[in-house]
Chains A and B, each alone.
Chain A
């Protein structure tokens, strides 16, 4: 066990990828051309995650495939959220947390010593469990927040276009176009979550991570988000943590089942495969028991 990235060879991610990300937002034309764009592959090899001395996740090697939705399922405490947070270097923000193993984005180590974690998070965006728009910021400024942070000055007209495109992409534009100046907190829960998704996609990330994005929403808002996820995968690589098995079966292409042998042991990846396979004929008995609801 060592500090995050301490033993890794340096990669060029910090240069090529990050420079591209910071040279300014893309023009509407280039984004239009990105309809159905190929996204990037996230890959983990022998990843172990720790909180201080406690090992939360053990030896996870898996691929989050491009332009697909990968669902991470498993009972509480199995490490799936911890694992998700390691995929954009948010795990290390917790005091005492550390990572070993390798996590790459299209082959480039995101924990390389010259890689700026902030830029990793720009390429690998996160949508959280509870909608968390900036409450006092307007709807417009919420969406533009990431642009301001990431790209320096952006022309007003360009920003208008990105905000509209992002809100349209999040299926929210028609509901908020006449109240872009109202505070984000004035929206309903489902709208707030879509606002957060709009904020995440405004900076055109490669990967979207979602941590139980619907657990605070009603069924109609949940289905709206699931539909949205289905559309977003044409542009992004998506990984979603969910406790809702029906959601995993409805919304994902690939399902990864995490489990722990017993309380206090680290979580492990038990099985990963096509969602259809996991929910009709899983290979492992533990997976069968979990998806059938025979395990708590």
Chain B
């Protein structure tokens, strides 16, 4: 292939891909701090996560606008077009993942300043969070490497998160008998649910990897018609 044709356009597209996928690193950082805030009932750290979400939103707006400009000015087609379409989806998912961290962190002050009341529940949530961070980094690697197999493996990884989420639910029911811990446990259950959604967003990104590579979009798992 002769070099030198549309070099700036290609470089811009590569830069925007790196920037969109870099959003996943921001999310991963936000999730780490969210987990730390849960573990130590750290209200201040939770507030920092909420405030810092502006960075993720800013990334979304900046890259989204630049992709729209490329669409308008460069008439991308074929793989480039699929890539841009996929990056718009990735950005939306990144933005949603950031918002889920914000949702969790906004709940933390509502449970007071006392240390977490059930270590078992905290342990489950930290395990969910750790596994979800694995999904986020795997989604990023799959996208960067256009690795459909690695992308499809996200479903298996996400099943681990889903199972932990069910464990949280079972535990919250048990804790529910204890009036002092009940409210805290319900709040943590909402947090677990938010982390579970972040895992789903990572799987969605994996589906976009398959679209970029194959040109066909299909859900890895159909939630409304499970196999």
Contacts and interface: CB of A to CB of B under 8 A. Distances in A.
B1 A292 contact: no
Interface in B65-94: 75-82
A289 B81 CA distance: 13
Interface stretch (A64-72, A168-176, A218-226, A276-284): A276-284
B115 interface: no
Instruction: List the 7 closest A-B pairs by CB distance, nearest first.
Output: A281-B215, A279-B77, A288-B78, A291-B77, A293-B6, A292-B78, A291-B78
Interface string A263-288: 00000000000000001111000011
A155 interface: no
A101 to B, nearest CB: 30
Nearest to B81: A280
A295 interface: yes
Provide the main secondary structure of the chain A interface.
helix
Interface of A: 245-246, 249, 279-282, 287-289, 291-296
Contacts of A246: 75
A292 B215 contact: no
A249 B77 contact: yes
15 contacts: A245-B75, A279-B77, A280-B82, A281-B216, A287-B78, A288-B78, A288-B79, A289-B1, A291-B77, A291-B78, A292-B76, A294-B5, A294-B6, A295-B5, A296-B2
A289 B10 CA distance: 13
Nearest to A283: B215
A167 B221 CA distance: 56
A293 B80 CA distance: 11
B22 to A, nearest CB: 25
Interface of B: 1-2, 5-6, 9, 75-82, 214-216
Contacts of A282: 78
B88 to A, nearest CB: 15
A95 to B, nearest CB: 35
A276 to B, nearest CB: 10
A293 B81 contact: no
B2 A295 contact: yes
Contacts of A291: 77-78
A109 B115 CA distance: 88
Contacts of A249: 77
Contacts of B78: 279-282, 287-288, 291-292
A295 B82 CA distance: 19
B2 A292 contact: no
A246 B72 CA distance: 12
B1 A279 contact: no
A1 B79 CA distance: 40
Contacts of B81: 279-280
A281 B81 CA distance: 9
Contacts of B77: 245, 249, 279-280, 291-292
B162 to A, nearest CB: 32
B200 to A, nearest CB: 26
A273 to B, nearest CB: 12
A57 to B, nearest CB: 24
A246 B77 CA distance: 10
Nearest to B85: A280
A72 to B, nearest CB: 17
Contacts of A296: 2, 5
A280 B9 CA distance: 18
Contacts of B214: 281
B209 to A, nearest CB: 14
